[in-house]
C-alpha cells in the first residue's frame, strides 16, 4: 500500500503531466511509468487471486487505478501525437506536383 502511494506521488511530481516539459520528455516519462504501472498491475492481480483463494476481502487501490486510467489516456494522446508528427514529416517529403494526387489521403 505504501508503494502505491509513493508511486502515485512520484507520478504527480515527476510524471508526464508535469507542467512545462517538452512533449518528447513527457513521452519518455510516460513510457517509464507505463512499465511501473504494468509491474504494479501484475502484483495487484496476484494479490487479488490470493485474497480470493483464502476468502479474504479484496483490497482496493484507488491511487493505482487512477494512475492506470491516466496512463491509458496519456498513452492514447501521445500515440496520436507521434502519428501526427510522423504524418507531417512524411508530407514534407511529398513533391508539390504530387500534392493533388494525395490530398484525399492527407485530409483523412
First-to-final CA distance of the chain:
46
| Bigger pLDDT: 107 vs 76 | 76
User: Which pTM value belongs to this model?
Assistant: 0.82
Q: Would you place residue 107 in the very low, low, confident or very high pLDDT band (cuts 50, 70, 90)?
A: confident
Domain boundaries, the chain: 2-107
Question: Could you tell me how far CA 47 lies from the centroid of its own chain?
Answer: 24
Match 482496493 to its residue by C-alpha cell: 60
Look at residue 94 in the predicted model and tell me its pLDDT: 81
User: H helices within 1-108, ranges in order?
Assistant: 2-14, 23-53, 62-92, 99-107
CB 60 within 8 A of CB 44: no
Q: Mean pLDDT over residues 2-18, rounded?
A: 95
Distance CA 78, CA 100 (A): 30
Amino acid at each position: 500500500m505504501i508503494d502505491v502511494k509513493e508511486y502515485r506521488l512520484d507520478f504527480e511530481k515527476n510524471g508526464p503531466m508535469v507542467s512545462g516539459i517538452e512533449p518528447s520528455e513527457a513521452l519518455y516519462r510516460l513510457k517509464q511509468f507505463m512499465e511501473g504501472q504494468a509491474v504494479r498491475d501484475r502484483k495487484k492481480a496476484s494479490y487479488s487471486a490470493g485474497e480470493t483463494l483464502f476468502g479474504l476481502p479484496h483490497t482496493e487501490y484507488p491511487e493505482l487505478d487512477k494512475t492506470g486510467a491516466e496512463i491509458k489516456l496519456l498513452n492514447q494522446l501521445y500515440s496520436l501525437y507521434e502519428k501526427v508528427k510522423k504524418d507531417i514529416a512524411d508530407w514534407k517529403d511529398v513533391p508539390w506536383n504530387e500534392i493533388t494526387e494525395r490530398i484525399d489521403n492527407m485530409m483523412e
